[in-house]
Amino acid sequence: MLGMSDRTPQVIHFKEKNNAEESTKIINHKKSYNSKAMLYRFDGQNLYLLDKKSRTIIEGFSVEKFSGDTLIIVNTARACETRFFIKIK
């Protein structure tokens, strides 16, 4: 339990022009993409992670809730995998 108390927050920052950055590998743990910078596409109901060079879809998520301070996504390939993100002030 001691190791959990000094964990740094996992942050994902969605920027303009469909660029995003994560502090650690939050969304995808595969080695096939760079965990620090990525491209994304959001159409209101789905969030797609894209390969930076070919711009093909690496992974897709259904958006359950999207508000000013909360994002809840479900992996379309694995329905049991749900991620909750809360805005840091």
Q: What is the mean pLDDT of residues 9-30?
A: 71
Reported confidence tier of residue 63, pLDDT bands at 50, 70, 90: very high
What pLDDT does residue 23 have? 66
Say if 16 falls within a structural domain. Answer: yes
Say if 3 falls within a structural domain. Answer: no
Q: Is the pTM of this model over 0.75?
A: no
Compute the radius of gyration of the chain from its Cα atoms: 13
What pLDDT does residue 7 have? 60
Structural domain of 46 = 9-86
Say if 4 falls within a structural domain. Answer: no
| Short-list 64, 61, 66, CA closest to 49 | 61
The predicted-structure confidence for 3-17, as pLDDT tens digits, reads as follows 555 566 667 778 888
The predicted-structure confidence for 30-57, as pLDDT tens digits, reads as follows 554 445 677 889 998 999 988 778 888 8
> CA 17, 48, 75, 23 torsion: positive or negative?
negative
